[in-house]
Amino acid sequence: MFYREAGQFRTSYAQDSQIFPLRQDRLAMIALLAVAFLLIPAVASDYWLRALLIPWLIFSLVAMGQNILTGYAGQLSLGSAGFMAVGAFACYNLMLRVDGMPFLVALVLSGLCAAAVGVAFGLPSLRIRGLYLAVATLAAQFFIVWALDKFGWFKNYDPSGVITAQPMEILGYEFASPQAKYLLVLAIVAGLALLAKNMARGATGRAWMAVRDMDVAAEVMGLPLMRTKLQAFAISSFYCGVGGALFAFAYLGTVEPSAFTIDLSFRILFMIIIGGVGTILGSFLGAGFILLLPILLSVVFHAVVGQAVDASVVSAVELIVFGSLIIIFLIVEPHGLARLWQVTKERLRLWPFPH
């Protein structure tokens, strides 16, 4: 009833190639952005901003990077935490060693550093594929963390082996309060999400999807296979690197190389699988699922059970419920939460009619 497109005519090519062709979608997006930029910083508590929203946005960004590589280009990779680490440490070192380096420039440069490393470790993808490539990218993960850990120069020879991120300053304004950090991260993530969406819709995305679906045919058609694959690695690592820098600067504040564990890489992969492989929305939904759902379960259990049950039991039950929810969601919708959303929208278009 509400979600009808009757009466909406597109009269120009520009109109036809919008991300949101339906007016309802556009209005919903504007409303969402308004809530995100205006309402939330005004009403959300410190807890929501610092512990939930900022990490969710950061991980959505990294998941987007992973989605570009694995979802769109079909290169199964498990090195995302390693690239995050590169981004974080590159940003720290740039801000430390270059006097007067603006934060945004450092952010972009650290993304480029991560991209360079990504291309280097992406070279095996020209020969290896599938599950074998995934395990090969683990080499990137372990080697990067080992190198950052081993060579003290990266950490400025800190005796504790950690880096403490500098304050983020843009044009003299320091982003210190949770609201400021949130808005900065939101702006960066929204901008990069838009960029990713457009890349995915355009020729770049089509090239990636061709490589994913049938790379031999794509090569036969004239697609430069090596360039496309390495480009996917580069852009994906750029996103992961920027995400990693934000992880260190806007979220934790202090990181050591071994914070970027193999477990983190796996979690990022889980995020895109449960969110929906090959979608931008899926990155956000998946990050929310993997990151926020365990916290939700913990809060619910504590509220319901309180101190009546042994805390160890509660913690173990949280794990069981989380795992079961993953399986249940996959049975309901094997293609992930984004597809679930898509199906819902389809039904909404017919609502209140069944078909």
Partner 1 sequence: MGGFQFFLEVLIGGLLSGVMYSLVALGFVLIYKASGVFNFAQGAMVFFAAVTFVGIMELGLPFWAALLVTIGVMVLLGMATERFVLRPLVNQHEITLLMATIGLTFVIEGVAQLVWGVGVRRLDLGIKDVPLPWLADNTGIFISQLDIFAAAVAGFLVATLALLFAKTDTGRALRAVADDHAAALSIGIPLKRIWALVWAIAGIVALVAGMLWGARSGVQFALVFVALKALPVLIIGGFTSVPGVIVAGLIVGASEKLAEVYIGPSVGGGIESWFPYVLAILFLLIRPEGLFGEKIIRRV
Partner 2 sequence: MFEVRISRALRTLLAIGTVAAVAAVPSLAQAQAKEQYFGIPSYRVGPFAAGGTGFFGGIIDYLQYVNMKEGGVNGVQMVWAECETEYNAARGVECYQRLLTRGDQRMHIFEPLATPIAYGVLNRVDDDKVVLTQYGYGRSDAADGRVFPWVFSTMTSYWSQASAIMNWISTKEGGVANLKGKKVAHLHLDSAFGREPLPVLNRLAKDWGFELVSIPVASPGIEQSAQWLRIRQERPDWVISWGFGAGMNSTSITSAARINFPREKMVGVWWAGSEEDVMPAGDAAKGYFAAANVPNGKQFPLVQDIEKVVYGGGKGNLSDPKRIGTIYWNRGVTAGIFWVEAVRNGQRIANKRGQTLNGDEMRAGFEALNLTPARLKELGIEGMLPSFKLSCSDHEGAGVIKMIQWDGAKWVSVTPDWVSSDRKMIREMVEESAAKYAVEQKITPKKC
Give contact residues for partner 1 (rule: CB under 8 A): 76, 124, 127-132, 135-136, 138-139, 142-143, 145-146, 149-150, 214, 216-217, 220, 262, 266, 270, 273-274, 277, 312-313, 315-327, 330-331, 334-335
- Total of residues contacting partner 2 (CB under 8 A): 49
Residue 296: contacted member of partner 1, partner 2, none (CB under 5 to 8 Å, by partner type): partner 2
- Nearest Cα to Cα of residue 4 among 342, 339, 352: 352
Q: How far apart are CA 215 and CA 208, in angstroms?
A: 9
- Residue 29 within binding range of partner 2, rule CB under 8 A: no
Question: Closest CB to partner 2 among 11 and 307?
Answer: 307
Question: Closest CB to partner 2 among 72 and 284?
Answer: 284
Locate 216 and state its tokens: 């031999």
Task: Map residue 47 onto helix, strand or coil.
Answer: helix
199 Cβ neighbours under 8 A, 6+ residues apart: 68, 205, 235
The overall longest dimension of the chain from CA atoms, in Å, is 67
Rounded to the nearest 10 degrees, how much is the dihedral formed by the CA atoms of 298, 299, 303, 306? 40
- Nearest Cα to Cα of residue 83 among 243, 227, 190, 192: 243
Task: Map residue 253 onto helix, strand or coil.
Answer: coil
Shortest distance in whole angstroms from residue 225 CB to partner 1: 13
Question: Closest CB to partner 2 among 198 and 261?
Answer: 261
Question: Closest CB to partner 2 among 119 and 341?
Answer: 341
- Residue 135 within binding range of partner 2, rule CB under 8 A: no
Q: Which residues bind partner 2 (CB under 8 A)?
A: 46-47, 50-52, 55, 146, 149, 156, 159-162, 164, 251-256, 258-259, 291, 294-296, 298-300, 302-304, 310-312, 314-316, 318-319, 328-329, 332-333, 340, 343-344, 347, 354
